Chain A
Amino acid sequence: MIALDANAIAGDLIEVLGVDLAAEICACAHCGASGFFAEAVVYTRAPGRVARCRNCGEVLAVLVTIRGITCVDLLGIAEP
């Protein structure tokens, strides 16, 4: 399974969050590794898109587009 990075979902993140999350530095809630969200490992071929920490592989965020509405769950991004 070849993955991309979060550059591929940058537009949807801006549309939903109002912030260019890909250009922000984020920390993984699981392992603490930090880096640009753009560098997250992103799986785009699925019922939704899943962004994972490049360091530990845990889920950082899930994007699902249903009936034209995109929802973003930032479940794996650490509190600042």
Chain B
Amino acid sequence: MTPPVSRGFRGRRTDESLSRRVPPGQYVTPDFPVLSAGPTPHQPVGSWSFEIRGELDEPRSWTWEQFNALPSERITVDIHCVTKWSKLDTSWRGVSLDTLLDNVVTRAEHVLAFCDGGYTTNLPLDDLRDGKAWIVHEYEGEPLEPEHGGPARLFVPHLYFWKSAKWVRGIELREDDTPGFWESYGYHNYGDPWKEQRYTGD
């Protein structure tokens, strides 16, 4: 039974003019909220690496230098957090997963991303391909700050932002799907904001 309404309380609402760009249940924020399940890791780039491991022909990894030598691109896109805020026209620079996965031979259909601090999230491998995902290291033209996931984070803007794992250190290719941190607590396994897939069963 819903409690009676608090007279005059509106919560956060989006301007009508923006509502077509915004998935159901979201509000637009000019801020960039910092959400985290733990303290901000401070990984020096000197000891940073990104790995692709698991079900593939040969594991691959890149040092920070090697990673920065790869072709990168600028992406401007809206992002949507499951805690209901959306931020429009955010601008990033990163290396496409298509570049990192180039020539990878695998039977795997699933991916588990892993990060400094222990965070994990799972996705279908298909959702990392064909221009849908990047490892980003710049936000708004500046090096990505640690509180927003720097040195680098996974960036998969077509899904809720908990899938864009901060402080990413690699992806594990898997034949079987295994839920990541929030997924194992009931957040949706896939997380399409346009279908409002916030929780298991949505």
| Complex A–B touching at CB under 8 A | yes
- A47 and B38 CA atoms in complex are apart in Å by 12
* Among candidates B39, B182, B185, residue contacting A3 with C-beta atoms closer than 8 Å: B39
Task: State whether A48 and B185 are in contact (beta carbons under 8 Å apart), knowing that A1-B34, A1-B147, A66-B199 are contacts in the complex.
Answer: yes
Return the CB mask of B31-70 against A: 1 if under 8 Å, else 0. 0011111111000000000000000000000000000000
- Given that A47-B83, A47-B162, A47-B187 are contacting pairs, would A67 and B199 also be in contact in the complex, using a CB cutoff of 8 Å? yes
Q: Which of B33, B38, B186 contacts A71 (CB 8 A)?
A: B186
Count residues of A near B (Cβ-Cβ below 8 Å): 18
Q: Contact check, A64 vs B35: say whether CB atoms are below 8 A apart.
A: no
Contact of B185 among A41, A43, A64, A67 (CB under 8 A): A64
Contacts of B38 in A (CB 8 A): 1, 43, 50, 52, 57, 59
B35 lies within 8 A of A46 (CB): yes
Nearest A residue to B34, CB-CB:
A1
By a CB distance below 8 angstroms, the chain A residues around B28 are: none
Interface of chain A: mostly helix, strand, loop or mixed: strand
The residues of B that contact A45 with a CB separation of less than 8 Å are 33-36, 83
Count of inter-chain pairs, beta carbons less than 8 A:
51
Given A1-B147, A66-B199, A67-B199, A43-B186 contact (CB < 8 Å): no
B159 close to chain A: CB less than 8 A = no
- What mask results when residues 50 to 76 of chain A are scored 1 for a CB within 8 Å of chain B, else 0? 101000010100101011000101000
Q: Are B37 and A73 in contact (CB under 8 A)?
A: no
Contacts of A73 in B (CB 8 A): 185
Closest chain-B Cβ to A11's Cβ sits at a distance in Å of 16
Quick one: which of B40, B83, B118, B162 contacts A1, CB cutoff 8 A? B40
CA distance A77 to B182 in the complex (A): 19
- Pairwise interchain contact A66-B186, C-beta atoms closer than 8 A: yes
B82 at the interface (CB under 8 A from A): yes
Q: How far is the CB of A67 from chain B (nearest CB, A)?
A: 7
14 contacts between A and B (CB under 8 A): A1-B34, A1-B36, A3-B39, A43-B36, A45-B36, A48-B37, A48-B182, A52-B39, A57-B39, A59-B118, A62-B185, A64-B186, A64-B187, A67-B199
B residues touching A (Cβ–Cβ < 8 Å)? Answer: 33-40, 82-83, 118, 147, 162, 182, 185-187, 199
Known A-B contacts: A43-B36, A66-B186, A67-B199. Give 16 more (CB < 8 A): A1-B36, A1-B39, A1-B40, A43-B38, A45-B34, A45-B35, A46-B37, A47-B185, A48-B37, A48-B182, A48-B185, A57-B39, A59-B37, A62-B185, A64-B187, A66-B187
Chain A residues at the B interface, C-beta cutoff of 8 Å: 1, 3, 41, 43, 45-48, 50, 52, 57, 59, 62, 64, 66-67, 71, 73
